[in-house]
Amino acid sequence: MLEFVLEYRTTIDRITDKRKLGLGEYELDDEEWMLAKELCDVLKHATMFFSCSMPNLAMVIPAMDHIDTTFTNCIINKARLQPAIHTALGLAKKTLNHYYSLTDLSNIYRCATVLHPRHKLQYFKQAGWQPEWITTAEALVRNQYTTSYRSHRIPPDGALNDGDNSASAHQVCEHTQILVAD
């Protein structure tokens, strides 16, 4: 939306011309247009992560990490930002951290990230998570498997159609080892 507004600045300036339509109170001055451009640039970079693939549960933590890193880098390089944008990024980062902390209330985010074929435990290592947190993420997946799936039997390869349900829980455990490994 902000990109659209910037693209049609000339038209918007004409519409908000005080003399013609009486919408002068909505007219943006050059400084406000510059703020809109800076904000658009920051948000475009922060949200670029979402344009690469279909969002899913396993992407919540990496997406929040990406946005947090983008905001942090912009705040650190504050010399090139207007004070209003710098303040807005600080508030956005505080809000993001609030919601990020809520992911700890549900194990599903970490389990989904650990089980995602592209991420596994390696994601957390590359993201600089503390070793105890990585161990906890792995333990959450293993505990979920033990409590919810270990007793379930799955058919061996090719047996889905012939009704043979003789696969052992050991096979499932070996499969889980592969999923979690980095």
Higher pLDDT pick, 54 / 61: 61
Would you say residue 42 has pLDDT above 90? no
Q: What does pTM read for this prediction?
A: 0.61
pLDDT at 143: 92
Residue 39 has pLDDT above 70, yes or no: yes
Residue 162: exposure state from Cβ atoms within 10 A (0-12, 13-18, ≥19): exposed
**Residue 25, both tokens:** 């109170």
**Which tens digit of pLDDT belongs to each residue from 6-32?**
787 777 777 777 666 667 777 778 888
123-135: pLDDT as tens digits: 899 988 899 999 9
